[in-house]
Every structure is written in structure tokens, then in C-alpha cells.
Structure 1
Amino acid sequence: MKKLTDLLLLGDPRLYETCEPVQQSELPLVAGWVADLHNVMEEIRAKYQFGRGIAAPQLGIMKRLIYLNIDRPTVLINPELTSLSPEADELWDDCMSFPNLLVRVRRHCRLTLSFRDEHWQPHTWTVDDWALAELIQHEYDHLDGVLCTMRAIDAQSFRWRPTPTNN
């Protein structure tokens, strides 16, 4: 089982690589990968009080796989963005691979996503919720070796995250 110490951090060259598609023959491996992603996300949530999604390459699994856990666990295998709205908005983005740094980026407000689930069933998902759309774009970028630091609006688009307080 992978742990927080297995999370790749900013500067690791693997974070800048383009991931390979998951093959149907690799489906038996997906449950283990997802368990690792879930475990590390829970450790990030406990330590830093954030985390809604994680991409497989952040754990050195160089496959096109995203794990989201907002209201329920969702597995996105070989996701494809098929439509991005022309409207975009700005936010202070965060990333588990550099948890103390926030980066000001611009993301599309809506999107359409095609993917397979953990049972290899195809899905198409139209996302009109801004918070979910920006999260999917962030995680999708990881699959192409793109970090939010590379999408910074300008040189002043970086700041330290306030330290969480444990009550």
C-alpha cells in the first residue's frame, strides 16, 4: 500500500511525463492503484485539510487514471476532454505534489469528459459545476505532464498556503 511518502513532489521528472493509456488487460491492476490513490488522498486530507482528486502519475503510476472523491469515489480511466467552454475563470489552485504552494490559474467553466469506469464501462459526463470542472482539468493535466505551476497566469501568481490549524 502506497503512503504519503510515495507521493511525487514538485521537481520529480516523472511529473512532467505523458502517461500511457490503461489497457483493458490491466483492469485487474486498477483496484490496487485506486486503493493506493485513496490512501494517499486520505493522508493528505488529514495532514493538509484539502484533497478532492489525485492522478495516478502523482504516485509514479504512469497511467491515464484519475481518482476523485468528493461525495463518492469516482474512477476515471483514460479520460478525454471532448469539449471545453470558451468561458473561463481564475482560481488559486493547489496540488498534493506541492501542498504548501498555491498557484493562480485560469480554467474553463464547463466541460464534457469521456472515460471508462473501473468496470471498463464507457461514460460521457457533461460537467456544468465550476468547482468540479476546474478539478477535472487539474487532474487531467497531470496525465499530460502539465502542472498548475506551468499554467500560472503571471509571475505574481504564486503564494504560500496558510498553515492549517489542528483544533
Structure 2
Amino acid sequence: MKHLADLLLLGDLRLYETCEPVLESDLPQLMNWVADLHNVMEEIRSTYQFGRGIAAPQLGIMKRLIYLNVDRPQVIINPELVAVSEETDELWDDCMSFPNLLVRVRRHRNVTLTYRDEHWQLHTWTVTDWPISELIQHEYDHLNGVLCTMRAVDEQAFKWRPTPQSHP
């Protein structure tokens, strides 16, 4: 079982690699990978109070696999963005691989992707919910070796995450 200490951090060259597709022959390993992704995301949530999704390469699993847990757990295998809206928005993005840094980025308002689920069923998903759309783009970038630091809108697009204040 992987833990927070297994998370690749900014500067690890593996974060800049393009991932290989998950093969149907990889399915016996899939639930172990998903359990690792879930476990590390829960540790991030507990430690840093954020985390809605994680991409496999963040744990050194160089496969095209994303795990989301917003309202429910969701496994996204071999996603492909097949359409993106022209309309974009800016946001302060965060990343588990550099949890104390926020980066101002611009992302497409809506996306459509195809992917397989954990049962190898093919899906097409048009995402018009902004928080989910930007999350999908962030995690999808990880599969292509792109970090949000590389999408910064300008040189001033970086800031430290405020630390949670403890109350007596």
C-alpha cells in the first residue's frame, strides 16, 4: 500500500513523462493501483485539507489512470479529451505534488472526454461543471507530463497556500 511519503514531489523527473495506456492485461493490478491512489488522496485531505483527484504518475505508476473522489469514487482509464470549449476561466490551481503552492492558470470551461471505467466499459462524458472540468484538465495534464506550474498565466502567478489557522 502506498502512502503520502510515496507521492512524487515537484522536481521529480517522472512527473514530466508521458504515461503509457492502461492495457486490458493490466486490469488484475488496477484495483491495487486505485487503492493506492485513494489512500494517498485521503492522507493529503487529512494533512492539507484539499484533494479531489489524483493521477497515477503522481505515485510513480506511469499509466494513463485518474482517480477522482468528489461526490463518489470514480476511476478514469485512458482518458482522451475529444473536445474543449473556447470559453476559458482562470483559477488558483493546487497540486498534491506541491501542496503548499498555488498557481494561477487558465483552463477550458467545458470538456468532453472518452475513457474506460474499472470494468473496461467505454464512456463519453461532457463536463460542464466548472470545478470538475478544471479538475479533469489538471489530472489529464499529469498523464502527459504537464504540471500546472507549466501553465502559469504569467511570472506572478504563484503564491503560497495560506496555512489553516488553529483556534484555541
Q: TM-score, normalised by structure 1?
A: 0.99
The C-alpha deviation readout for 1:52-104, integer Å capped at 9, x for no partner, is 00000000000000000000000000000000000000000000000000000
Q: Which residue is 1:75 aligned to?
A: 75
SS in 2 for 1:83: strand
SS in 1 for 2:30: helix
For 2:70 and 2:99, the matched residues in 1 are separated by: 18
Does residue 141 (structure 1) correspond to residue 144 (structure 2)? The answer is: no
For 2:71 and 2:145, the matched residues in 1 are separated by: 27
Does residue 161 (structure 1) correspond to residue 166 (structure 2)? The answer is: no
The C-alpha deviation readout for 1:1-29, integer Å capped at 9, x for no partner, is 00000000000000000000000000111
Q: Which residue is 1:120 aligned to?
A: 120
Cα deviation for residue 164 of structure 1 reads: 1.9
Q: Which residue is 1:40 aligned to?
A: 40
For 1:59 and 1:155, the matched residues in 2 are separated by: 28
Cα deviation for residue 137 of structure 1 reads: 0.1
Cα deviation for residue 165 of structure 1 reads: 3.4
The runs of at least 4 aligned residues of structure 1 exceeding 4 Å deviation read none
1:100-111 correspondence to structure 2 within 5 Å: 100-111=100-111
Q: TM-score, normalised by structure 2?
A: 0.98
Amino acid at match of 1:63: K
Identity of aligned residues (%): 77
Cα deviation for residue 166 of structure 1 reads: 5.0
